[in-house]
Amino acid sequence: MFVLVFVVLLLDVSKAGACTRIVYQGPNNTILTARSMDWKEDSMTNLWIFPRGMDRNGEIGKNPMTWKSKYGSVVAAAYDICSTDGMNEKGLVANLLWLAESEYPQWDGKRPALSIAAWVQYMLDNFATVDEAVTAIEDNKFDVVSDQMPDGSRMATLHLSISDATGDNAIFEYVKGKLVIHHDRSYQVMTNSPVFHEQLALNNYWKTIGGLTFLPGTNRAADRFVRASYYINVIPKVEDIRTAVASVFSVIRNTSVPFGISTPNEPNISSTRWRTVSDQKNKIYFYESTLYPNVFWVDFKSVDFSEKAPVKKLDLLKGETFAGNASGEFVVSEPFKFLGID
């Protein structure tokens, strides 16, 4: 019976969204979080530097959340309407991934609300650790509101992972209209469908087989979860940060989808567009596009996050090739506006 259920789940998750996120827990407090961005089209990603002290708005017309950013951050934005990935100056990392099963509460306008496009930024602006974020979100003082994708094709159904400089992890999902929080240092991997507790169950099954015997090799979310879980824990845990970053990049590349592969009418199995690795100890944000030969990075020691410092943007859409520390290549820009709901 279990095998039948397992096969049905594998068939079902082939319809799930894309992207993979992993956390490496190494010696001497080395923590690295990596993610791939898989999407059916170019997500028009640019990198942004946001300082402390920014006045923020949840972009929900009737009753938006408002706050002032406590921490500066570097983020990767999709279409310049949504923060999809990033790290703040305290080493908190947030990653937004697709989850087709997401169901958000019916918002009646009575409680403050936050556009899902600003969910990542809210975390980066306000919290230094996973424990702080979970404690605050458990108070349930606001709603996250979603809407149609900009092209009107489907609802934006997403879940959120966060990790901090201690290696702690949390996953936030809206299931049947209720927020579910999974909080544990061991939650090092997140992909897409099914919901997180079912991902863990599938992974436990594969652990009984053993990664040296056989690992599932397709592009489906459950298979990527299993491969990422195995490799992130068997790669050598080394003190040399250069080697550690290279190892983590190798794992996230292993779970990527070859460029040019996309399933029609599904964002589910889509080409990997870019990958990031966040060094949460040394505060360095690495970025790799599948279209260019170089990994480049933003070293936070080269960034001015002080209050009233300018917002800056690194335009990745002009075809320029960046290498090494690209912090000095950012230019002063007006901040983008999060996609909201009137």
Annotated catalytic residues are 19
Asked if residues 19 and 37 have their Cβ atoms less than 8 Å apart, the reply is: yes
**Distance spanning both ends of the chain, measured CA to CA:** 48
79, burial (CB in 10 Å: exposed 0-12, middle 13-18, buried 19+): middle
Question: Is residue 231 within a helix (H) or strand (E), and if so which, with residue range?
Answer: helix 221-234
Three-state secondary structure call for residue 86: strand
- Helices 2-13, 196-209: axis angle to 10 degrees equals 120
Distance CA 237, CA 233 (A): 9
Query: 87 - beta bridge partners?
Result: 74, 93
- For residue 300, the 8-state DSSP code is G
Distance of CA 300 to the CA centre of its chain: 19
Pairing of strands 46-50, 73-78: antiparallel
